Amino acid sequence: MLNDEGGYCRSTGCSEHYLGFRSRRRVGVMTQNSTYPMGDLTVTRMGYGSMQLTGPGVMGPPPDRDGALAVLRALPGLGVTHVDTAGFYGPHVTNELIREALHPYDDLTVVTKVGYDRDETGGWVPANTPAQLRQQVEENLKRLGVEALDVANLRLGDPMANPSQGSIAEPFAALAQMQAEGKIRHLGLSVVNAAQVAEAQTLAPVVTVQNLYNIAHRSADDALIDSLAAQGISFVPFFPLGGFSPLQSSVLSGVAERLHTRPAAVALAWLLQRSPNILLIPGTSSVAHLRENVAAADLVLDEATAKELDAIGA
């Protein structure tokens, strides 16, 4: 049902939802059909990224541990079934919080990442030899308290999220071997280019790709997203809200004002509409922001508004 200001709801009870946006008190529960496959798993298109639940610089425990656990414990009630993590967040901090809050996970899919380590100063250090990857997979299994990882993404590229060039066969084959051993259900890739995705697919199925992408930063991935969509493979943009540099745009703010919602909700809704294979993992340390983000899954932008927003990253 379309409202008169360019936004409408996917689910029934639209006016109630819309008034919720207006009053900023809406509690979002996602509609039943807002899901997408990851291999033989099915996840909600609106997920959650846990990187914000660490200390400064993604090192150490969060300043508000109880608050971090509250965010994680709110996920099932909000209908979110996709959580993103990594052993190198903290390190081990988000995995341990996720286990404490959500184990044994029930309908939740926990997607982790391997391929990086942290040094004693918090620096991000590539760690993708077969031996290093095996050690990280074992560590993730132990900290998450599972016998097999749902999805393990091989995180490549540099720490600033620029893909490297060249073959990724050796590290991906190492993960494929651990998949064959039953330690990993599904494999994904992070910070890769299209050629690297194609190379990995000759070794084992790739169920998801996670690269930096948002309304203002689209780089070369538009073609990759479309190609993955044609294959039924999810694309998970990290930094959907700009990450460490929050999105700022007068167009975004103007649309948000017109729709009586927040810029973050519009940025997330734009991504969901960009392509059906885009799944979101916005990060937050706040239950209030989590609720706003989940509610954004119900915000649909009309064609003119979407076009206006397209201009931000053109």
The tally of CA atoms less than 13 A away on the side-chain side of residue 6 is: 19
CB half-sphere exposure, 166, CA atoms < 13 A: 5
Which span (61-69, 101-109, 216-224, 241-249) binds ligand NAP, by CB under 6 A? 241-249
Shortest distance, position 113 Cβ to ligand NAP, whole Å: 6
Residue 5: CB minimum distance to ligand NAP, A: 20
Tell me how far, at minimum, the Cβ of 8 lies from ligand NAP, in Å.
20
Interaction pattern, residues 157-196, with ligand NAP; x per rule: CB under 6 A: ----x----------------------------xx-----
Q: C-alpha distances in angstroms, 92 versus 33, 129, 179?
A: 33, 20, 22
Using CB under 6 A, pick the residue from 242, 253, 258, 273 that binds ligand NAP. 242
| Residue 22 CB partners (closer than 8 Å, separation 6+) | 260
Using CA atoms, how far apart are residues 118 and 283, in angstroms rounded to an integer? 20
The answer to whether 210 contacts ligand NAP (rule: CB under 6 A) is yes
For residue 254, the tally of other CB atoms under 10 A from its CB is 14
Query: Of residues 11-40, which lie at the interface with ligand NAP (CB under 6 A)?
Result: none
Pattern of binders to ligand NAP over 92-131, x per CB under 6 A? Answer: ---------------------x------------------
3-class SS string, 252-271: HHHHHHHCCCCHHHHHHHHH
36 alpha-carbon distance from chain centroid: 13
Binding site for ligand NAP (CB under 6 A): 49-52, 84, 113, 155, 161, 190-191, 210, 238-243, 246, 262, 264, 281-286, 289, 292-293
Annotated catalytic sites, by residue?
89
